[in-house]
Amino acid sequence: MPASPLVRAALIFAVGLALLTGGLALWRFATPSQPATVSGAVSSSGAALIGGAFELVDQDGTTRTPADFSGRFMLIYFGYSYCPDVCPTSLSVMTQALDLLEESSPESAARIVPVFITIDPERDTVPVMKDYAAHFHPAMVALTGSSEQVAQAAKAYRVFYAKVEDESAGDYLMDHSSFFYLMGPDGNYVAHFAHNAPPDEIAEALQGHVNE
Ligand code: NI
């Protein structure tokens, strides 16, 4: 029995709405780069796509997986120690945000582990990571691994990176996406922040998420 025109119109509308909603969620997920973005800017449908298994080595040579952080929040940043500007700034922002939170709410700050994951494992060996992490938050866990291990971690967090030859320096730089990811005590995605968000705004957002 053919559906009445009204039913058909309603069906077409419903399908269109579903497609639009899905498309919007994907679009928002693919473009979380507005500098004003501080928290809660990713819809839950896109959120499920961020995060997952990794196996890396910290700056003391200890193998680390997400299970090691179970019960605590992870504030994760992907970058590389040879980065001339963005990464050191981002890791300073991360450190300042956690220092501010520590001042206002030490219990909240204690629940968050700052994590730095290199996307340049070729140069970021364990000793290099140890030296580098020492410039930032004392609790920072700095992770590296084989190219495959790093690729897997970056893929889980949907982090883009690529080597860019730098003729003048006879060396190379890394192009990479630059966000902080807040992962919950259950390992699930909670929020992301732009790398250049003001530390006090990040601190405030962290406070809110930790006390949710
Ligand atoms: Ni960088």
For residue 27, what pLDDT is reported? Answer: 42
CA of 207 to the centre of ligand 1 (A): 26
For residue 48, what pLDDT is reported? Answer: 63
Helix locations, 113-185, DSSP H: 126-133, 147-156
Q: Greater confidence, 103 or 9?
A: 103
For residue 42, pLDDT beyond 50: no
CA of 118 to the centre of ligand 1 (A): 10
Mean pLDDT of 172-193: 94
CA of 98 to the centre of ligand 1 (A): 20
For residue 39, pLDDT beyond 70: no
Euclidean distance between CA atoms 152 and 161, whole angstroms: 12
Q: For 51-100, what is each residue's pLDDT tens digit?
A: 999 999 999 999 999 999 999 999 999 999 999 889 999 999 999 999 99
Q: Greater confidence, 181 or 30?
A: 181
Going by pLDDT thresholds of 50, 70 and 90, the confidence category of residue 38 is very low
List the shell of residues around ion ligand 1, using CB closer than 5 Å. Answer: 79, 83, 86-87
Amino acid 210 reads V
Instruction: Give me the residue spans of the domains in the chain.
Output: 5-210
Going by pLDDT thresholds of 50, 70 and 90, the confidence category of residue 122 is very high
**Strands, sheet with 112-118, edge to edge from the N-terminal-most edge strand:** 141-143, 112-118, 73-79, 179-183, 189-194
The third-level CATH classification (topology) of the domain covering 5-210 is Glutaredoxin (3.40.30)
CA of 83 to the centre of ligand 1 (A): 4
For residue 171, what pLDDT is reported? Answer: 86
Percent of the chain with pLDDT over 70: 77
For residue 148, what pLDDT is reported? Answer: 98
